[in-house]
Chain A
């Protein structure tokens, strides 16, 4: 099952997403963090999100690119005795926070700039592979599409990539919510567009 949670900056989407995951009955809850804390501001943000998660029993996984690298970690935690048998499991749920960072990290990595078409294909393949292994994924993503600013080509290509990935995931998703002032407005539920 895939759930997509979309909202503006500081709309309460992360908090909603965490509550959504915690309300569920899954045994193992994973928090897949994609932000690279490279300066004071982002460190502060990471800390705020860690505090928000404190006591909620998440196993934190940190992957700013190549999110499929989280799969062996999930397998290891699940197996308990750290053997590598493939006991995977409807009991896992993974919260990916957030797609807007992941797209930026994949697009601008290793000192290069990758084209939106490449990033869309790559990230969708990674999401599908992760979904195959960990059956329940909640993906948080950002609404950065409603201002009137005219951006340079690089930023436009980033917006194109994130917009298309959001569309592709929402098409696959069972549930899609838009969060506004902390309130989740359902757009798709039980695989049905509302």
Chain B
């Protein structure tokens, strides 16, 4: 699995399409996580669901970086930010490659 991260509006999807055209994409993982937290799912269950989705075939997971702002006022937003960060960290450990996209340019950081 390949993980592609970066801020919003950096051209991550275009970068994935250009560099990994044969892959299947799990895009906007940060929103995937948010939706499941809103439904009351536990972080472990969310991680298990992600791993289940990507267990067959070649996958590129794409997510916004959301951890570089001030602490959100709402507890749910704080929880979302934390859990997204820890899920991305765990996925980065599993990933064969990690790419970070800045201004449309990707750099392989793992």
Contacts and interface: CB of A to CB of B under 8 A. Distances in A.
Interface string B61-74: 00011111110100
Nearest to A161: B9
22 contacts: A6-B102, A145-B9, A146-B64, A146-B65, A146-B66, A146-B69, A148-B30, A148-B66, A149-B72, A159-B8, A160-B9, A163-B7, A163-B10, A163-B11, A164-B9, A166-B104, A167-B11, A170-B102, A176-B102, A176-B103, A176-B105, A194-B107
A170 B103 contact: yes
A187 interface: yes
B77 A148 contact: yes
A147 B30 CA distance: 12
A58 B64 CA distance: 38
Nearest to A6: B103
Nearest to A159: B9
Interface size class of A (residues with CB under 8 A): 20 to 34
Chain A, interface SS category: mixed
Interface in A121-167: 141, 143, 145-149, 159-160, 162-164, 166-167
Interface in B1-28: 6-11
Nearest to B66: A148
Contacts of A4: 103
Contacts of B67: 146, 148
Contacts of A170: 102-105
A191 to B, nearest CB: 12
A184 interface: no
Interface string A15-28: 00000000000000
A145 B7 contact: yes
Given A145-B64, A149-B72, A169-B103, 14 more contacts: A6-B102, A146-B67, A146-B68, A148-B66, A148-B77, A166-B103, A167-B10, A168-B104, A170-B102, A170-B105, A176-B105, A178-B102, A187-B103, A194-B107
Nearest to A163: B9
A150 to B, nearest CB: 8
Interface of A: 4, 6, 8, 141, 143, 145-149, 159-160, 162-164, 166-171, 176, 178, 187-188, 193-194
Residue of B9, B72, B77, B84 with highest tally of chain A CB at under 10 A: B9
Nearest to B14: A167
Contacts of A8: 68
A168 to B, nearest CB: 8
A159 B10 CA distance: 10
A162 B104 CA distance: 12
Nearest to A188: B105
Contacts of B7: 143, 145-146, 163
B47 to A, nearest CB: 19
